[in-house]
Chain A
Amino acid sequence: MRRHQLLQSQLSCGLQEAYNVPRISGRASTSSVHDVRYFATLLRGVNFVNRATITVTERGLTITVEEARTLLGTAFIFCDIFDEYAYHSPNPPVATSQGSEDADIVDNVAFEVPLNTLIECLNIFGTAGPASTTVSSSSKYKKWRKAGEDSDHDGDDEHGDRGRSVAGRGIDSYFTGGSEKRTSMRMTYAGEGHPLTLLLAEDATGPTTTCEITTFDPEPHLELDFDNSRMVLKIILKSSWLRDALSELDPSFDKLTFIGNPPQEPGASASRQKQKFREGSKPMLRIQAAGTFGSTEMDYPNDRDVLETFECTRSVRFSYRFAHISRTLRALQNSTKTSLRIDEEGLLSLQFLMPSPKPKGASGQSSDAFIDFRCLALDEEL
């Protein structure tokens, strides 16, 4: 594969200069992140199988994890979440000499690492933990939300007020208590056969940690491309609506079914509000879970405050293993928005927007990372 030719690329995300940590390698410019919590949260989102493939490109990192040839989880982390970021392409001439069939493949370097180990290393000082993020979200999802209590307030999101609410959440989630210590990191990868090197420190006077994580040649992953032209269902909703539904489900369920029906008068959006009382027989979106001990159904109302986007071309009904869907919960819990898409063959794509802790205005535009899950449907004939 092409990847194997890329030898000396280097990625680094490092400590701020203030910490005055010596560079691991003089060859590359450095990049840094002063608080690894956001990075660690993204990694935890896909931490359901230990072996992960990290692909490095000019624009950022993707972390890909696969389970049972059915479920594929990918975290897209853009370079601007790092304070500094540098990628040195190992072989630019090769990229141009390649045929046109490679034109859409971005110049990259890939390697596999044990993801658990990477996360443990980031949390070596105990200050990359999920504590602050999960406390705020778990305290919320335990209780039922009353209409008008929180959802009204969050409903502002879609009216262009998103920046403010993301920043608010970001500060709550990542910067609770100004005195709290943070771990800063510099990460370097020198190319095939080299370990992934992390340099971690809490502050200038405290201890420093160096980690060298063994990397492996990447194994080819499942290719689950989502073709938008074959999409039959597309929903965008606030993550909390899906999170509340899925976290209610008992782990003993083994099958989860998504049922979608086209809205009954698709053209007349004004009359939708009134219709929702009459469409009991044909729900717009229903989540059905079944297991040895019973089954449960949850319907979503046809309400703009709940389903921000709902596109459905025909009646859809696809089932998935609940164990696979529940793998997405950790990412879901830390996300703000969810896009759920299903194509005609039942391939499910769940994308979670992970709010970045950086204030939008500070560093120009900062793109939020997102985590994408693809899951194949169960074969109903069996």
Chain B
Amino acid sequence: MKKPSVILAGSFLSILVLAVILVPVLTGDQAYTQNVEAILQSPSRVHWFGTDTLGRDLFMRVLIGARVSLTVGVVCSFLTFLIGLSYGALAGWAEGYVDRALMRFCDIMMAIPSFILVSVLCLSFKLLIPVEDPFWSALWGLCLGISATHWMSMARVTRGMVLEIKRKPFVEAAIALGGTRTHIFIRHILPNILSTILVLVALQIPTNILYESFMSFIGLGVHPPFTSWGILVREGWKTLSSFPHLILFPSMILFLTVWSFHILIDSFRR
């Protein structure tokens, strides 16, 4: 028995992903084509979401912007998974002083509001990464900045489970048989903790998408002419009082995406 909200969320996400991949390929470069004669139009049959201050079709721009937003969401989740897993596994496996020092550092990181951490790191990575192209350096800055600040809860969970599992008889047996640490971790411990960790990884995706939009909104993410949902919201924010559709459509799609992820993850958990 599936709930209607789950069906709604699932179909929204799949249509979104399909549209993001296919529609811009089929219709060409509409997201960047400026049209002075059609600026700031309200939603109509030709322009579903209306047009922006330069006469670009907002619907197409939302789809193009989704490419950056969704990529950041998925890539950051994967990076977070790698960092959190290895950090937590190291702490849990080492125990003693190493463990305490590592976890203490984890606590310090968790005590700083993540908004500060993400923005400071996005700025630093963006400036430090030796990539010339402004689009790629911004994208890398976003990915590294977001994932360097969201691995803590994953590390904690991993550490707890590694501590628990490494005392189990089958791990002892593997050690007695001469298994190396990496072998034991990958073949014996990882399969046991993967299902819990994967839920955390999935939960990370909507958070990353939100952070991408926050960062682009305050000017630390990608920059125009490139676009992402954060950039669209930023552009719409300037004309909120007279042309609210410019901010409400992109941010509503952002909300629906994050909501769909939450609904789906919630239904998988049960």
- Report whether chain A binds chain B: no
